[in-house]
Amino acid sequence: MINEEIRDKEVRLIDENGQQLGVVSSREALSMAVEKNLDLVKIAPQSKPPVCKIMNYGKYRFDQIKREKEAKKKQKTMEVKEVRLSPNIDDHDLNTKLKNAAKFLEKGDKVKVSVRFRGREMTHTDIGREVLNQFAQGISEVGSVEKAPKMEGRSMVMFLMPKRS
């Protein structure tokens, strides 16, 4: 809340330099702020009486938004990349998929490895589980299993996450 939005009778006032001016009426505090061409901002509404500060609210909001943007830049968002396999995959194809998954894990992304079963392959889900376990062993240097292989409809899914370095 700023300026006229403050409806309390009395407020504890802090000036622009951080000096406490004591408990004054909100009208008096607002007139002090207007004299200095600044805003009266309520910074602690839950205290008794509420604490208000005289400051340049526009500059304060600008600095706050700038700090939030800096914090966002430093964040690393983790994406989920997917690698699809089939139950009857050949060794060379599996190695190619392992290399792709290793690249994703080195970048810091999570990897979803799925084995899709078609038609009569559904009766041999144990082969798909073996393929996923073989994949997990091959990628164990750069990643670890976050969620073990699990059936979801017609596919078996396993999640890998990058190892902590």
Cβ pair 161, 144 in contact under 8 A: yes
Residue 48 and residue 121 in one domain: no
pLDDT at 60: 87
Number of domains present in the structure of the chain: 2
Provide the β-strand partners of residue 115. 85, 156
Confidence grade of residue 8 (pLDDT, cut at 50, 70, 90): confident
Bigger pLDDT: 159 vs 9 = 159
Residue 104 and residue 153 in one domain: yes
Residue 23 and residue 51 in one domain: yes
Q: Which domain holds residue 144?
A: 80-162
Residue 84 and residue 158 in one domain: yes
Q: Using one digit for the tens of pLDDT, what is the confidence trace for 76-102?
A: 777 899 999 999 999 999 999 999 999
Residue by residue, DSSP assigns 9-53 as: SEEEEE-TTS-EEEEEEHHHHHHHHHHTT-EEEEEETTSSSPEEE
pLDDT at 165: 60
Q: Report d(CA 96, CA 103) in Å as an integer.
A: 11
**Which residue among 11, 39, 72 closes a domain?**
72
Bigger pLDDT: 45 vs 151 = 151
